[in-house]
Amino acid sequence: MDTGPDTLRNIDWDRTFHAYGCAADLPGPLAAVLSGDAGTFDEAVDRLYGAVLHQGTVYPATAPAALFLAGELGRPALDTVVEERASGPIAGRVVLLEFLAEAALSSLVDHGADTPVPAPVPETERDHVIAMMRSEDEEEAIAVWEEPVVERLMLAGLADMRAATPTLAEAVRPFLTHPDRSTRIRAVEAAAALHRLGAEAPDLSGAADLAECRDEGAAIVLALGDIGEDTTEFLAHADPVIRVCASLAPALRNDPAAVAELRSALTDPDAVAAWFTTPPARFALGGRDVLVEALAASSNATRTVTGPPVGTGTGDPG
């Protein structure tokens, strides 16, 4: 599959779409990501999140946008610091790895591995949809979203993301051992997310060898669980946070020792907010909820969990 500049040149952006209609306007924001200017980068990424990953929805334009970004991950322009976080300065490359991980995870919502690939949409029907989206008649441009063919094109967009995963994963792989810690953390998460979508399981041994802190170790252990590796050995780790991350592996959902670690962590749920400087993506919106949901999913979790209900956002938003 094409990546980087080849995607920008070879995709017929006039004949695909995102949340706001025809994607003819996407090459500009995509190219702007490589401007080397923090303000321009921020505006471009905001546009991409709003258009091709709007509220976590995948569109036909999402896969080609992801392929372009993945192909450009090595560009020196992405060394530019684009924001400051608690963990320190963040380069543009980190933000793009986060985008790729979110695109992969968003593609899992309604499209499992056993979902059949939809039949190709006739070009005349696609042209009709794009023409309605570009109509100057606002009512027509809105009404197009009720057309049955749009749903088929959306399903095709999800299938395109799945088909792109091997290429995306190969583009992410070199950054698993990048000199920058934040880059490694987000590359690990992106690689695990792409594996869940269908890419081969990543080799995280290099990232593990370079791990420098709890934040990085936690991201690696969580990723190991997500890609189906056995995390049982980490239940004996000296750091209780690493033990909890190991306990979140789907394979340990009903393991008594893992359930005990989750219960132990929830005896002081407010402390979860202070666990990380760079929270793993799973903990970004509140760690307590993650632990409660994992405990509730276990058939061995018979004890009632006390505290605020799930969704109250008691954890650190990161």
DSSP structure string for 150-186:
HHHHHHHHHHHHHHHHHHHHHHHGGGGG-SSHHHHHH
Whole-number pLDDT of residue 5: 84
Whole-number pLDDT of residue 309: 40
SS3 content of the chain, % helix, strand, coil (to 5): 60, 5, 35
Residue linked to tokens 């192909």: 71
Domain limits, the chain? 1-203, 211-318
- How crowded is residue 150: how many other Cβ atoms within 10 Å of its Cβ? 18
Q: In the predicted model, what is the mean pLDDT of residues 82-96? A: 93
Q: In the predicted model, what is the mean pLDDT of residues 135-153? A: 94
- pTM of structure: 0.90
The runs of H, that is alpha helices, within 53-147 are: 62-71, 92-106, 123-133, 138-143
For the stretch 192-244, pLDDT in tens is 999 999 999 999 999 999 999 999 999 999 999 999 999 999 999 999 999 99
Q: Of 184, 221, 188, 219, which is closest to residue 203 (Cα–Cα)?
A: 188
Q: In the predicted model, what is the mean pLDDT of residues 262-273? A: 90
187: β partners:
none
Question: What is the rounded CA–CA span in Å between residue 289 and residue 279?
Answer: 14
**Tokens read off for 115:** 């979902």
Question: What is the rounded CA–CA span in Å between residue 229 and residue 223?
Answer: 9
